[in-house]
Structure 1
């Protein structure tokens, strides 16, 4: 498994914006894709990888008669820790093969939500990478739980890597899903290191309407100006949803412009609302076939 290269050499940033990249493992085969993608980012920006390996520790059961913890649990914990050590050693070999500095941090989740534990650990990084599993409803649901916690609780941008064949890295064409929200503005700022290396960046507005600062025909001009002041020659696109969801419209346009990266704000309508009835963030998480950088 290897990332296809879009150029023979990857230019290094003069002043790296990302020094520490966290990779949250969700214990599926797709974790390898997350590590490989994060390794490519680390090579480009001279960054270090921090691989977060979560151990879900079962709570000791109480003997119904003696009212004491089950004496077998110390052995269970020892077995889990030994398995985690072996997995961490294997991951370290993978990092060495990728040629990037880094290490594995094993986190024991005992009486604490593992996704929240991962989010807390990711706060010391600049970027978080997470893989969406290839199949299996349970695996995808677990990955989405991690994604939601990381997005809301880490304070860091999240790149979700799809389970299909990875796009060339670094991305040459990117699509920015723009809306007048703090989440979209933050995602645009956080994505600058990747956007600056793109050959083409399209800024998309779906069903644009006027607001207090921009007329309908001027919507998106602020985002374009921001990108151009950073030396990025962006192009403005608009489209009508025509009965599709906003997320479906974004994904269709991303395919139309051959985007290799999507940039979007995450959970602008709140986590609970999108979890229950769906929304743009859920559509992009579950359906995108290219990496998506989210920020909240």
Structure 2
């Protein structure tokens, strides 16, 4: 199923434009449209302010971002609509983004950057979108440009439920790829069913072939380095432009991901990653 509605998280951080450009590119390729959702904290509001509505300053910032996104969308010939969280506490903006995401085919958000995002974006917004939106979430690294997203799409496979979800959720991107590969990494801290004997890699290849996707099957063993390091090393060596993987975690307080590999990937990622939960 093509991505007819792509939701992109917008804010006043420097990396907003990179997310928007990627969302517009994907929407254009699928004949879709973009929903640009403004959800950020308000620096003008103190923690004890009883009124949690956006300040005039933040509303002005929204208009500035909206103008920039509109210009980019017009240049690409893509329809775009906008929304903004009316409340600006951490819980409110996360809830607003997650609710909006449930009406999209794909969600585009950014990797958290402590240098630029602190006080503007909740630190756990990306992981909460992954865990609670019920939609595939494409996370864009806080550094780098990614104009050729589907040149080489790699699936991180562990035969688990989340990996299977990522495989299907990412099918439109796999179908558009110039090269597709499936990588199984065996290691002591594997998540899902990867610690077991069966990986069903041949079945993955047959499944992809049914969608017209030819893939390379690879297996690697992460012994001396961690699974995330191995994935990112392979991604760099093989010029991977997009990684698809399952996300492991739960909703709770504190809001943290249970899965060590998922959590580490969110911290260390150097290429865009589509997470499915």
TM-score by length of 1: 0.78
The answer on whether the counterparts of 1:166 and 1:290 sit within 8 Å (CA) in structure 2 is no
Q: In terms of mean alpha carbon deviation, does 129-138 or 251-260 score higher?
A: 129-138
Structure 1 moving runs of 4+ over 3 Å: 55-62, 76-80, 137-144, 215-219, 269-278
Aligned position for 1:33: 18
Distance change >3 Å, CA 92–CA 287, structure 1 → 2: same
- Aligned residue for 2:167? 188
- CA shift, 1:284, in A, is 2.0
Structure 2: distance between partners of 1:31 and 1:124 = 21
Provide the C-alpha distance between the structure 1 equivalents of 2:123 and 2:88, rounded to a whole number of angstroms.
Answer: 21
Match of 2:39 among 48, 51, 54: 54
Are the aligned partners of 2:41 and 2:121 in contact in 1 as well (CA < 8 Å)?
no
Closer, same or farther in 2 for the Cα pair 1:55/1:201, shift >3 Å? closer
Question: Quick one: structure 1 residues 218 and 47, their matched pair in 2 at CA, closer, same or farther if it must change by over 3 Å?
Answer: closer
- Name the CA distance, whole Å, in 2 between partners of 1:27 and 1:61: 23
Aligned positions of 1:84-103 closer than 5 A: 84-103=62-81
In structure 2, relative to structure 1, the CA distance for the partners of 1:271 and 1:180 (3 Å cut) is farther
Q: Which residue, 127, 130, 136 being the options, matches 2:115?
A: 136
Deviates most, 110-119 or 178-187: 110-119
Counterpart in the other structure of 1:13: none
SS in 1 for 2:124: helix
Q: Is the 8 A contact 1:148 1:271 kept in 2?
A: no
Counterpart-to-counterpart distance in 2, 1:22 and 1:218: 33
Q: Indicate the residue corresponding to 1:240 in structure 2.
A: 221
Aligned match of 2:180: 201
Alignment RMSD, CA only?
3.3
Report if the CA contact (8 A) 1:248-1:283 is conserved.
Answer: no
Query: Quick check: which one's helix share is greater?
Result: 1
Q: How many residues align?
A: 268
Give, in whole Å, the separation in 1 of the partners of 2:30 and 2:78: 11
Larger Rg: 1
Unaligned runs of 5+ in 1: 1-15, 63-68
Give the superposition deviation at 1:134: 5.7
Residue 199 (structure 1) shift: 2.6
Structure 2: gaps spanning 5 or more residues: none
- Do structure 1's residue 167 and structure 2's residue 152 form an aligned pair? no
Give the direction of change, closer, same or farther, for the CA distance of 1:275–1:94 in structure 2 (3 Å limit): same
